[in-house]
């Protein structure tokens, strides 16, 4: 029998990428689909959407129009992910040719909704089928594993708790079993995923022994042939001493920390309901830098949050100068439906927000350039994961520096010592020395 073809486009975060893997596996197992890169030949077109900021939502409808115009006759179109969760039926009203809508919390139902035309499945209540670790993996070298779903926080700017529901931790025995399976299949690195990973263990689906995130890291690191553990995203509020100490002392835990600051102003942080102050954030960075000087630190920053004054923005710049982040993901505030901040009236002028974003990004470029200059001539143990067409193979150091070398696929899935020979802003080039 000829396989049916699936085209899937994934927007947004790492959780979405993992959800897409889950749907690909489900559709392969139950419906015989294989993936294609060309939507025009696909029997099923899926968009796994993001709704964290507004722009991707506009993009969704223009893209859907394009898909509908050029799709193969009889092909179905499904909208999945966070925008599916929050817009629901509206999607089918706006784009009546869409066959079904499947929320971020419901991806394990993909093969059911496929057969129900105009189905809208967006329930955010707990559903154990989400815990099934489906077997499709986009990389054989690295295994992404969900450790919790949903988010219990109520950051006033963020739509995620509305689209992904309450936070529930997946029992550690299932996570460990999945990690063992992936390592058995050749992955040397696992990547733990959750909106709030270091809040792991606050609530399980049923009775469960008390296991927090530090303990989960300890248990996972006992898997013999597992070499590296990464995770995202931790929350600064939950960065207690035990967590930072485990991060620093466990040799299998990669030394790169994402610390989403959002704002350096304690007043704005309060309005955002982030649960920490500027001082707490700097205190945690200080502890981390003392215990683990080799760690790189990345962050997320929002500019132009309602009520952000020039002085508040200066506080963010001050934190940037003090911390010298290795990487930042910075965004202009985008009001989102069903969030508290949507109703805040002290809106920041768009031009002011754009200027702040530009200033912050140019400061970050300077910091990154200075940080990178210090790396020239250093040697790192690199785990190679991607082959580029131009004869380069790229990988990451333990502390998440992306380095490429001349080479071929024999390097994939291998560790090598690499000396950095050329520096750039986003990528560094090196030579394999052993
Ligand atoms: N759980 C993650 C956040 C997920 S959203 C965490 O706590 O880090 C990813 C990032 O998008 C956030 O860290 C924030 O910087 C940004 N973001 C979320 N909502 C936003 C909004 N309404 N406008 C602009 N940026 C936003
Ligand atoms: Fe969003 Fe805050 Fe949770 S940013 S995902 S509500 S920790």
Query: pLDDT band at 127, cuts 50/70/90?
Result: low
Please check whether residues 198 and 181 belong to one and the same domain.
yes
CB 147 within 8 A of CB 192: yes
Alpha helices in 71-194 (DSSP H): 82-87, 89-94, 110-113, 160-164, 172-184
Q: How far is CA 241 from CA 195, 198, 206, in A?
A: 20, 12, 28
Looking at 175-225, which runs of residues are DSSP E strands? Answer: 189-193
CA of 161 relative to ligand 2 center, distance in Å: 7
307 shares a domain with 350? yes
CB half-sphere exposure, 82, CA atoms < 13 A = 29
Point out the ligand 2 atom lying closest to the alpha carbon of residue 151.
3
Q: How confident is the model at residue 171 (pLDDT cuts 50, 70, 90)?
A: very high
Same domain, 289 and 392: no
β-bridge mates for residue 35, sequence order: 6
Res 101: pLDDT: 97
Q: What is the distance between the alpha carbons of residues 130 and 134, in angstroms, rounded to a whole number?
A: 9
Give the residue, by CA position, lying nearest to ligand 1 atom 13.
300
Write out the DSSP string of 383-403: EEEEE-TTSEEEEEETT--EE
Task: Please indicate, yes or no, if residue 40 is contained in any of the structural domains.
Answer: yes
Task: Tell me, in angstroms, the distance from the centre of ligand 2 to residue 107's CA.
Answer: 20
pLDDT for the residue numbered 208: 84
> Is residue 235 in a domain?
yes
* Ligand in nearest proximity to the CA of 302: 1
303 three-state secondary structure: strand
Pairing of β 296-303 and β 256-258:
parallel
Number of domains in the chain: 3
Pocket of ligand 2 (CB under 6 A): 151, 153, 155, 158, 160-161, 195-196, 235
Atom of ligand 1 nearest to the CA of 329: 15
Under the banding of pLDDT at 50, 70 and 90, the label for residue 54 is confident
pLDDT in tens, 215-271: 999 999 999 999 999 999 999 999 999 999 999 999 999 999 999 999 999 999 999
Mean pLDDT on 345-355: 98
215 touches 202 (CB < 8 A): no
Question: Residue 262 CA: which ligand 2 atom is closest?
Answer: 4
My answer on whether 335 and 314 are in the same domain is yes
User: Strand 402-406 and strand 392-397: pairing?
Assistant: antiparallel
Q: The pTM is what?
A: 0.94
Q: 159: CA distance to ligand 1 center in Å?
A: 9
* Residue 130 confidence (pLDDT): 64
CA gap 422, 424 in Å, rounded? 7
Contact 162, 200 (CB under 8 A): no
Question: For residue 350, what is the enclosing H or E element?
Answer: helix 350-373
Q: Let me know whether 360 and 415 are in one domain.
A: no
Question: What average pLDDT does this structure show over 37-51?
Answer: 96
Domain, as residue range, for 305: 142-373
Both 405 and 355 in one domain: the answer is no
Q: How far apart are CA 373 and CA 277, in angstroms?
A: 32
Question: Bridge partners of 331?
Answer: 302
Atom of ligand 2 nearest to the CA of 260: 4
- 384 and 368 part of one domain: no
Mean pLDDT of all residues in 162-187: 93
Same domain, 82 and 175: no
Distance, in Å, from the CA atom of 80 to the CA atom of 85, rounded to the nearest integer, reads 8
Whether the CB-CB separation of 280 and 236 falls below 8 Å is answered with yes
Are 420 and 291 in a shared domain?
no
**Does residue 49 contact residue 79 with C-beta atoms inside 8 Å?**
yes
What residues contact residue 343 under an 8 Å CB cut-off, 6+ apart? none
CA nearest to 118, candidates 89, 152, 84, 148: 89
Contact 228, 252 (CB under 8 A): yes
Distance CA 366, CA 237 (A): 28
Distance CA 364, CA 152 (A): 31
Instruction: Please give the share of the chain, as a percent, with pLDDT higher than 90.
Output: 88
CATH code (residue 227)? 3.80.30.20
Judgement on whether residues 394 and 361 belong to the same structural domain of the protein: no
**Mean pLDDT, rounded, of the chain:** 94
Distance CA 17, CA 8 (A): 10
């Amino acid at each position: 029998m000829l396989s049916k073809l699936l085209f899937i486009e994934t927007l947004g975060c790492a959780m979405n990428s993992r959800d897409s893997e889950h749907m690909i596996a489900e559709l392969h197992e139950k419906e015989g689909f294989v993936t294609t890169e060309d939507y025009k030949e696909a029997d099923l077109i899926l968009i796994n959407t993001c709704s964290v900021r507004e722009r991707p939502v506009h993009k969704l409808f223009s893209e859907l129009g394009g898909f509908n115009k050029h799709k193969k006759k009889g092909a179905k179109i499904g909208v999945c992910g966070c925008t599916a969760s929050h817009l629901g039926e509206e999607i089918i009203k706006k784009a009546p040719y869409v066959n079904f809508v499947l929320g971020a919390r419901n991806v394990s139902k993909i093969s059911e909704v496929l057969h129900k035309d105009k189905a809208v499945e967006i329930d955010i209540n707990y559903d154990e089928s989400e815990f099934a670790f489906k077997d499709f993996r986009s990389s054989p070298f690295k295994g992404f594993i969900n450790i919790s779903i949903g988010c219990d926080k109520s950051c006033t700017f963020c739509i995620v708790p509305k689209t992904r529901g309450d936070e529930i931790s997946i029992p550690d025995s299932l996570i460990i079993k999945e990690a063992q399976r992936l390592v058995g299949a050749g992955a040397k690195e696992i990547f733990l995923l959750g909106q709030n990973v270091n809040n792991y263990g606050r609530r399980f689906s049923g009775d469960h022994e008390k296991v927090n995130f530090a303990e989960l890291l300890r248990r996972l690191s006992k898997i013999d042939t597992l070499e590296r553990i990464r995770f995202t995203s931790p929350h600064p509020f939950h960065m207690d001493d035990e967590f930072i100490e485990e991060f620093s002392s466990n040799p299998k835990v990669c030394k790169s920390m994402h610390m989403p600051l959002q704002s350096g102003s304690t007043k704005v942080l309060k309005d955002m309901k982030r649960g920490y102050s500027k001082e707490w954030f700097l205190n945690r960075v200080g502890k981390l830098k003392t215990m683990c000087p080799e760690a790189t630190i990345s962050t997320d920053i929002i500019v132009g949050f309602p009520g952000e004054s020039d002085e508040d923005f200066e506080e963010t710049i001050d934190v940037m100068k003090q911390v010298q982040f290795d990487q930042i993901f910075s965004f202009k505030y985008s009001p989102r439906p069903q969030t508290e901040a949507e109703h805040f009236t002290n809106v920041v002028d768009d031009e002011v927000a754009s200027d702040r974003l530009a200033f912050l990004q140019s400061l970050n470029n300077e910091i990154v350039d200075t940080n990178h200059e210090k790396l020239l001539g250093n040697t790192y143990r690199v785990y190679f994961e991607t082959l580029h067409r131009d004869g380069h193979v790229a990988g990451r150091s333990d502390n998440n520096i992306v380095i490429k070398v001349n080479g071929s696929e024999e390097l994939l899935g291998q560790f090598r010592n690499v000396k950095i020979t050329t520096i750039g802003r986003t990528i560094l080039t090196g030579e394999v020395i052993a």
